[in-house]
Chains A and B, each alone.
Chain A
Amino acid sequence: MSKIKLIEEKLFRVLMFLATCLIAFALCLIIFSILYKGIPSISWEMLTQTPKGGFYFGKEGGILNAIIGSLYLSIGATFLAFIIGLPVALYMNVFLIKHKKLINIIRFFLDLLWGVPSIVYGAFGFTLMIFFGIKTSLLAGIIVVTLFIIPIMVRAIDEVLKTVPVGLLESSLSLGSTKSETAYRVFFKQCIPGIITAVLLSFGRAIGDAASVLFTTGYTDHIPTSLSQPTATLPLSIFFQLTSPIPEVQNRAYASAVVLTVIILIISILSRIFSKKFQKNQINF
């Protein structure tokens, strides 16, 4: 009996190790191939200029329009999703605590929405735009991306809030605070590190998604100066460059991918530092 258990233990340890290696290998391969093809094409010019005529045929210019456009779009959408999503998640975990069935139904639908492919959001946004007569613009993109990341934001914050023990809720209430005071002053504070992670997760989805903005933001070589103008995004910029038959332009696509990766990396590191600062107040249960 014990021998079988020992073998079982070893077998699963090996399997887990192999699975970890596989993931690590795949990740390294992706990063390596992006860097390998992208780094040589990265130049200061590329980061600081908008495309000039003939950029997509290998001539001068850069992807500043897409970098700025992507940042506008994903920061705007993440901000909107946060100010809508945080109250929803707090409401679920503080106010609806008596209605477990309702909460589970809400969670189920949010998970469903999380799983809906972003192209469906794009198509939905496009239908809305036609209905309201809005042209492809930064605003339309922000709205669609917000819709697309709200389920992610709510569920990610919700998962963190779920870990707050009932005892803390009881303590706060028994001090005479109302449920909303408890929500914003106790639950929110206790969960700030996790909430930052949730925001980061949503931001990552927002900046990396091409399908939802395909119909809604349009594409332009200019940096948008108002919400009603169309804008370029990095994923679409990568797509357009990669589909070019010219190798030079293809390599620039990889360089753009490096830029996108670095932006996400910077945001991750910043949020880690930021959340460390708040971790000290967190109570460990």
Chain B
Amino acid sequence: MNNKSKIKIQDLNLYIGKHHILKNIFTEIPEKKVTVILGPSGCGKTTLMKSMNRLTDLYPEIKINGKIIIDNKNILDNKQNISKLRQKMGLLSQRPYPLPMSIYNNVSYGLKINNKWTKKEIEQKVEHYLKQVALWDEVKDRLKEPASRLSIGQQQRLCLARGLAVDPEIILADEPTSALDPISSQVIEEKFAELKKNYTIVHVTHILRQAKRIADYVVFMYMGEVIEQGTANEIFENPKKNKTKSYLKGLFY
């Protein structure tokens, strides 16, 4: 790989109770590319992604060891400032979770936490990020309305805008289109293609066609192991491992 890698995962093992969920994961995620973590349901894709911003901390039964290195720091090290670390990464989950407040406040929430912008700057930024996710025109007249009134597709775009507003370097997306209609899904995919100029995107999906559409780099996982990884071309055109070949043929889901 020619590109600089943004996230390096070394010898990562993760257990939930007695189950060995992630097994000896070694992988590197290139900077400013879309990396798709591909694999059937229950193979540990989401868990791998959540360990990247330490959301795994929330689950008592999870034990994790190994290294995840982002910008030369092992984020699994307990001395890290977790809030700072998480701000580096925008999260888009399987279904949108807008905050229980107005549309405007959803985007300004992260900005206000930082406490370094004036009111005017926040206003401009909210507009900027809502435009970036193509939501501004739909909501500009009702910014004070609760976010819960938006459709699911709009909510997911709002969540993307909210995540971008804290100025992350990485976007973690966990099957972000699985609850969306085709048009909203398309908008999200198109946005990712634009956003990769400035952001490192990690996209978890089990949908092969989607992976083919958006991936620059693919990590194929099966039963908690990384089976094969490489550029989209390598994996889709010329897979080396049998398991990858069967998945590409649609033999197991």
Interface residues of A in 147-169 (CB under 8 A from B): 165-169
B40 at the interface (CB under 8 A from A): no
Interface centre among A97, A165, A173, A175 (most CB of B within 10 A): A175
Binds A, one of B6-14, B16-24, B52-60, B122-130: B52-60
A226 at the interface (CB under 8 A from B): no
A187 vs B91: C-alpha distance when bound (angstroms): 19
A5 at the interface (CB under 8 A from B): no
The residue in chain A whose Cβ has the minimal distance to the Cβ of B57 is A98
Rounded to whole Å, the gap between the CB of B244 and the closest CB of chain A is: 30
Interface centre among A99, A172, A173, A186 (most CB of B within 10 A): A173
Whether the pair A174, B55 counts as a contact (CB closer than 8 A) is yes
A281 vs B147: C-alpha distance when bound (angstroms): 7
Chain B residue contacts of A177, Cβ below 8 A: 83, 109-110, 113
Rounded to whole Å, the gap between the CB of B16 and the closest CB of chain A is: 13
Rounded to whole Å, the gap between the CB of A179 and the closest CB of chain B is: 9
B166 at the interface (CB under 8 A from A): yes
Interface centre among B55, B89, B90, B114 (most CB of A within 10 A): B55
A166 vs B53: C-alpha distance when bound (angstroms): 15
Whether the pair A171, B99 counts as a contact (CB closer than 8 A) is yes
The residue in chain B whose Cβ has the minimal distance to the Cβ of A100 is B60
Contact with A175, one of B57, B87, B148 (Cβ below 8 angstroms): B87
Rounded to whole Å, the gap between the CB of A159 and the closest CB of chain B is: 18
A225 at the interface (CB under 8 A from B): no
A181 vs B159: C-alpha distance when bound (angstroms): 18
Whether the pair A178, B83 counts as a contact (CB closer than 8 A) is yes
Whether the pair A283, B110 counts as a contact (CB closer than 8 A) is no
Whether the pair A175, B109 counts as a contact (CB closer than 8 A) is yes
Contact with B91, one of A98, A174, A190, A283 (Cβ below 8 angstroms): A174
Given contacts A173-B86, A174-B163, contact A190 B100 (CB under 8 A): yes
A98 vs B55: C-alpha distance when bound (angstroms): 11
Rounded to whole Å, the gap between the CB of A99 and the closest CB of chain B is: 6
Given contacts A98-B60, A99-B60, A282-B148, contact A175 B100 (CB under 8 A): no
Whether the pair B147, A283 counts as a contact (CB closer than 8 A) is yes
A165 vs B172: C-alpha distance when bound (angstroms): 19
A281 vs B144: C-alpha distance when bound (angstroms): 10
Number of interface residues of A (CB under 8 A): 28
B239 at the interface (CB under 8 A from A): no
B 84-127 to A, binary, CB cutoff 8 A, 1 in contact else 0: 10110111010101111110000001100110000000000000
Contact with B100, one of A100, A173, A189 (Cβ below 8 angstroms): A189
Chain B residue contacts of A166, Cβ below 8 A: 58
The residue in chain B whose Cβ has the minimal distance to the Cβ of A172 is B99
Whether the pair A175, B101 counts as a contact (CB closer than 8 A) is no
Number of interface residues of B (CB under 8 A): 35
Chain A residue contacts of B83, Cβ below 8 A: 173, 176-178
A178 vs B114: C-alpha distance when bound (angstroms): 11
A158 vs B44: C-alpha distance when bound (angstroms): 32
Whether the pair A176, B97 counts as a contact (CB closer than 8 A) is no
Chain A residue contacts of B101, Cβ below 8 A: 189, 281
A178 vs B83: C-alpha distance when bound (angstroms): 6
The residue in chain B whose Cβ has the minimal distance to the Cβ of A187 is B100
A 77-109 to B, binary, CB cutoff 8 A, 1 in contact else 0: 000000000000000000001111000000000
The residue in chain B whose Cβ has the minimal distance to the Cβ of A282 is B100
Whether the pair A167, B93 counts as a contact (CB closer than 8 A) is yes
Chain B residue contacts of A186, Cβ below 8 A: 99-100
A92 vs B28: C-alpha distance when bound (angstroms): 37
B32 at the interface (CB under 8 A from A): no
A185 at the interface (CB under 8 A from B): yes
Rounded to whole Å, the gap between the CB of A170 and the closest CB of chain B is: 5
A20 at the interface (CB under 8 A from B): no
A2 at the interface (CB under 8 A from B): no
A181 vs B57: C-alpha distance when bound (angstroms): 17
Chain B residue contacts of A175, Cβ below 8 A: 86-87, 109-110, 113, 162-163, 166
Given contacts A170-B55, A173-B86, contact A281 B100 (CB under 8 A): yes
Chain A residue contacts of B146, Cβ below 8 A: 280-282
A171 vs B55: C-alpha distance when bound (angstroms): 10
Interface centre among A167, A174, A190 (most CB of B within 10 A): A174
Chain B residue contacts of A281, Cβ below 8 A: 100-102, 146, 148
- Sample 20 A-B pairs with CB under 8 A, ordered by A number: A98-B60, A166-B58, A167-B97, A170-B91, A170-B93, A170-B97, A171-B99, A173-B58, A174-B86, A175-B110, A175-B163, A176-B86, A176-B110, A176-B113, A177-B113, A185-B99, A189-B101, A282-B148, A283-B97, A284-B148
Closest 10 CB pairs of A and B: A176-B87, A174-B91, A190-B100, A175-B110, A171-B97, A98-B60, A167-B97, A281-B146, A189-B100, A168-B97
* A binding-site residues for B, Cβ under 8 Å: 97-100, 165-178, 181, 185-186, 189-190, 280-284
